[in-house]
Structure 1
Amino acid sequence: MIARVAVVGSGYMGGGIAQVVAMSGRDVVLADVSAEIAEANRARLVREAEEFERRGLFPHGAAQVVGSRVSAASSIEEAVAEVDLIEEAVPEILELKHDTLRRIGAAARREALIGSNTSTISIGVLAEAVPEPGRFLGIHFSNPATFIPGVEVIPHAATRSDAVAEIVGLLEDCGKSAVPIADVTGFVLNRLQYALFGEAARLVEEGVASAEAVDRIARTTFGFRLPFFGPFAIADIAGLDVYDFCYRSLSEAYPERFSEPEVLRERVQSGALGVKAGRGFLSTPPERIDELTAYRDRAYAAMSALLAELGPAPVDY
């Protein structure tokens, strides 16, 4: 059981992870390049928790929990010596991560699990610096870790299956949505995120739309659906035959950027057209269409109301 956690790297991401773990009822030890920085960041986390509590973003008593559960160590070695899990959250520099992981591996208990919050570096590459790499895996929180629910859990080829199960259980205790995936550069989150950004940037470069217009379209059209439906659910609802046609149009106009995925073509050819056919990427049957439509309408109306309540984001173009 994971009862005590160390976070190595106490900045914005590491600090948010520490808050999340502490509020699940576990003790957290922070470490950084110096004892002074670790202690300063611990104090910052308590102040942040007080502010979040005041604004209603944290439950009553959360700041007291963070203050009592989170401590600062004088060194990495001290922080990791007696814990069950160490989460590395230092800057995205391979040499720095390797050096940090070597220090962690040398000082931690043999049975302690070790995770990395890397956002793009292959876990297998990072594992080269970890003694007994079967206990090592990626645990990738999103920014801000305090509030974003999804966490990528990324085993490499040698990661023990029980290590994955323990981390998934911990994250669920922390109120997070843990999603195990395969180890590839960029994982899922950033491959999707950077693919979207790349096409958005090209639209601006080509003079099709301004950055403001692209952002507004993304937020108010397909992006409006994403809190409720992922890309495969959206495609199944629209109809995979529609996607097939649109890909052919796009590939004719932009052959260097768009080619129809083989998994889409195969489904269309087999008649697996999505919800209307009862099978596609998902298996939602046609008889649930009315239920699905009713949920969609409630969700989108609630999102519209929330956005009206919050008002526009303080972003200047």
Structure 2
Amino acid sequence: MKNITVIGSGTMGNGIAHVFAQYGYEVSLVDISAEALQKALQTIDKNLSRQVAKGSLSEADQAATLARITTYTNIEEAAPKADLIVEAATENIELKKKIFVQLDSLAPAHTILATNTSSISITQIAAVTKRPDKVIGMHFMNPVPVMKLVEVINGYATSAETTETILALSKNISKVPTAVNDYPGFVANRILLPMINEAIYALYEGVGGVSEIDTVMKLGMAHPMGPLQLADFIGLDVCLYILRVMHEGLGNPKYAPCPLLVNMVEAGHKGVKSGIGFYEYQAGNKELVVAPRFR
């Protein structure tokens, strides 16, 4: 594999593009917004500069990495040259299906189609293509340049050859791939989101306050970040969506989202991205300021 196309230039998309380009791959970064693409390149440059400052990357490598990334505002130009396409669009199944129908019609027959989804069925996405054996999940962790794990998700029809190719590719970019099967939430969110949801229930039921709950988990369980702060970082709307996917897909009431989470999202309190969630944040800064009072 030499040419990687990444669909979506948001937080995950630009991180995925950054890593592939850093390890020598030619990357086509696609977004419908030229402004979003420009912002993505600025973010990648900023993150590369951090690596240079830490001594893990040279200035020459930074320049070479950026030179390997080409931006496009339409899929038609980028898809035909790809050996692998990684879709990192909004977590919406209908949108992803629409993108995969288009990718299937544009990409060469050998191209593997991957999705960075954190919860949506790989099998359902693959079913809208004529190459379900070449459709797979590549669930990168945020922030992509820092986090080592890639959850590699096999759809029902994903071939062993496709899986082995993606596992090897992930190792080539210094990630640690772990193969799992296609059930709601996969492994990472199947375990993580119920913990976050239970922390929200503990707050909702008055068992403890925001900082108290997070302190218990950080100091008592050696978690680097408390579950409520982590939920803010992920995005409360994303947490709600994943819980609903698991609740519907598994039919188990233990995955039902806490009413407090539902209310917060409906009120527009989505965490870091909106400036307020379980904590309040300054604009453009992910550092928490204060835990607001809850009713």
TM-score (norm 2): 0.73
Please state how far the C-alpha of 1:33 moved relative to its aligned partner: 1.4
The CA distance in 2 between the partners of 1:147 and 1:68, in whole Å, is: 21
The CA distance in 2 between the partners of 1:219 and 1:212, in whole Å, is: 10
What are the within-5 Å matches in structure 2 for residues 36-115 of structure 1? 36-37=34-35, 39-56=37-54, 58-61=56-59, 62-115=61-114
Please state how far the C-alpha of 1:63 moved relative to its aligned partner: 2.1
Residues 15 and 44 of structure 2 are in contact (CA less than 8 Å); yes or no, is this contact kept in structure 1? no
The CA distance in 1 between the partners of 2:111 and 2:161, in whole Å, is: 12
Please state how far the C-alpha of 1:66 moved relative to its aligned partner: 2.1
The CA distance in 2 between the partners of 1:30 and 1:223, in whole Å, is: 37
Please state how far the C-alpha of 1:142 moved relative to its aligned partner: 1.3
Residues 115 and 137 of structure 2 are in contact (CA less than 8 Å); yes or no, is this contact kept in structure 1? yes
Q: SS of the counterpart of 1:97?
A: helix
> What amino acid does structure 1 have at the position aligned with 2:106?
A
> What amino acid does structure 1 have at the position aligned with 2:81?
E
Give the greater-gyration-radius structure (CA). Answer: 1
Q: 1:46 to 1:200 in 2, by over 3 A?
A: closer
Q: 1:38 to 1:207 in 2, by over 3 A?
A: closer
* Structure 1 unaligned spans of 5+: 227-255, 258-312
The CA distance in 2 between the partners of 1:37 and 1:137, in whole Å, is: 29
Give the structure 2 partner of residue 260 of structure 1: none
Please state how far the C-alpha of 1:316 moved relative to its aligned partner: 2.5
* Structure 2 unaligned spans of 5+: 226-252, 255-286
> What amino acid does structure 2 have at the position aligned with 1:178?
P
Give the structure 2 partner of residue 120 of structure 1: 119
Q: 1:314 to 1:45 in 2, by over 3 A?
A: closer
Please state how far the C-alpha of 1:150 moved relative to its aligned partner: 0.8
Give the structure 2 partner of residue 30 of structure 1: 29
CA displacement 1:186-228 (0-9 Å, x = unmatched): 11111111110121112112222111111011111223499xx
Please state how far the C-alpha of 1:65 moved relative to its aligned partner: 2.5
Residues 83 and 111 of structure 2 are in contact (CA less than 8 Å); yes or no, is this contact kept in structure 1? yes
The CA distance in 2 between the partners of 1:205 and 1:117, in whole Å, is: 32
The CA distance in 2 between the partners of 1:219 and 1:142, in whole Å, is: 20
The number of residue pairs the alignment matches comes to 231
User: Which of 283, 286, 290 is 1:316 aligned to?
Assistant: 290
The CA distance in 2 between the partners of 1:24 and 1:48, in whole Å, is: 17
The CA distance in 1 between the partners of 2:66 and 2:19, in whole Å, is: 12
Q: 1:67 to 1:116 in 2, by over 3 A?
A: same
Percentage of matched positions with identical amino acids: 29
